[in-house]
Copies of this chain bind each other. A is one copy, B any other.
């Protein structure tokens, strides 16, 4: 007897869980399609989940090592609080069912197993209720993570945690309901396939407001010049970008909302082509401008292409995908330079990647879409509405925190690094191998070999 049998007996005992196989006769999809669709969507949720590791490593790698623990702590918090608040209220704010188009709420919490509609009738056989929640929850947390990169290395931990919790619980879901929840922007014909605007520019606007509210890091802009503060771990940053690219297979591929073979595979092709074009364009642009091949810019070029293609990955032509990526790759380089010129300090380039290229991608749908119903002006209107709403909300949050509990750490703490100041420890220690017990050991043990002696003095 195998686990199977036990599991099936257990399943039978639960009764309500049993899948109504008969139901498929009335549906447009077969049981096999429903199973395949749901497998795809669950795995896409997993891929979007791994984007949180991508952001955590990218941000840690592109900032100084004295703030690494702080960044990792924030990213651990965001995904955790994001899932919990999205279950509590976010999901039902974003998908309230029939509503006034501006604000709706389907009630607190998720449906339990007995009452949830997990049949193939729930979403035309694309996935179950629980898969729907999981996939959308991973998206929601992504939006808040974008902000964390731009405010890194100087924001007060508790203030950021409050911002992130409110942003993911209320701001993102309400904004999302206007399009994906079937609200007024959806009715207007605004199109955003997987979130160039709904996720990336919303995150990017909030990042911009946060970076302005905080001001630049100490020493970043001095005596009229910009001092580059290079990342402390470029391998980790590269790991982050490759994981984000992989995650985008789920971010865009899952936004088809089924495993439809044509649309999913076409979406993955436009996504990968735009990412590749973004990288090559950013390499070329930054190499030309700075006479050096720049790894950070190349990595951001990949992300620029990915953010750019996200709004129209299912509906632009292949040539459109290449052009969207190329333009995004050039844009991100100039955008980084622009924000440095106006002294908005964004340690990882999050504003340029997510806001600039998010806006570009959304407008690009109006240019390159094969669907004649997509309109440039409506896209522009959508971009403006999301910008206005997010700037107001993020402004209230960031400046409200600044006026009350404070937004920025003390100068001394920033200098020392947030890891030691807020967390009491460092992220890295590649030296001290004998810490804490030198006085406990007989002297002879410490002299055992030249190598040990060397280590002991480190």
> Is there an interface contact between B262 and A17, defined as CB atoms closer than 8 Å?
yes
> Is there an interface contact between A235 and B72, defined as CB atoms closer than 8 Å?
yes
> Is there an interface contact between A257 and B118, defined as CB atoms closer than 8 Å?
no
| A residues 172-207 touching B (CB-CB < 8 Å) | 179-182, 186, 191
Known: A113-B317, A233-B235, A423-B294. A84 touches B429 (CB 8 A): no
Closest 7 interchain pairs by CB? A32-B32, A219-B437, A1-B182, A412-B448, A35-B36, A130-B265, A53-B242
Instruction: A249 to B249: give the CA distance in the assembly, Å.
Output: 17
| A residues 9-27 touching B (CB-CB < 8 Å) | 10-11, 13-14, 17, 19
> Is there an interface contact between A130 and B4, defined as CB atoms closer than 8 Å?
no
Known: A133-B269, A222-B437, A435-B229. A126 touches B448 (CB 8 A): no
- Give, as a whole number of angstroms, the nearest-CB distance from A160 to chain B: 11
- Asked if A264 is at the interface (CB within 8 A of a chain B CB), the reply is yes
B-chain residues with CB within 8 Å of residue A318 when the two chains form the complex:
87, 109-110, 112-113
Partner of A415, one of B75, B269, B452: B452
B-chain residues with CB within 8 Å of residue A314 when the two chains form the complex:
10
Instruction: A441 to B273: give the CA distance in the assembly, Å.
Output: 46
> Is there an interface contact between B234 and A268, defined as CB atoms closer than 8 Å?
no
> Is there an interface contact between B371 and A10, defined as CB atoms closer than 8 Å?
yes
Partner of A34, one of B124, B261, B279, B415: B261
Q: Give the nearest-CB partner of A177 in chain B.
A: B1
- Asked if A159 is at the interface (CB within 8 A of a chain B CB), the reply is no
Interface string of A103-141 (1 = CB under 8 A from B): 000000110110000100001101111111110010000
- Give, as a whole number of angstroms, the nearest-CB distance from A417 to chain B: 5
- Asked if A408 is at the interface (CB within 8 A of a chain B CB), the reply is no
Interface string of A257-300 (1 = CB under 8 A from B): 10111111110110011011101100100000000111100110
Interface contacts beyond A38-B259, A416-B451: sample of 16 additional A-B pairs, CB < 8 Å, sorted by A: A10-B371, A17-B262, A33-B35, A42-B253, A57-B239, A66-B433, A80-B280, A112-B318, A113-B262, A128-B261, A219-B434, A228-B436, A233-B430, A416-B452, A420-B449, A430-B430
Residue pairs across A and B with Cβ atoms less than 8 A apart, 15 shown, are: A2-B181, A4-B126, A6-B186, A17-B262, A30-B31, A39-B43, A42-B265, A65-B433, A77-B283, A80-B279, A87-B273, A230-B429, A417-B452, A420-B451, A430-B430
Instruction: A235 to B35: give the CA distance in the assembly, Å.
Output: 37
- Asked if A37 is at the interface (CB within 8 A of a chain B CB), the reply is yes
Interface string of A52-79 (1 = CB under 8 A from B): 1100110011001110110011011101
- Asked if A427 is at the interface (CB within 8 A of a chain B CB), the reply is yes
Partner of A65, one of B259, B292, B430: B430
- Asked if A377 is at the interface (CB within 8 A of a chain B CB), the reply is no
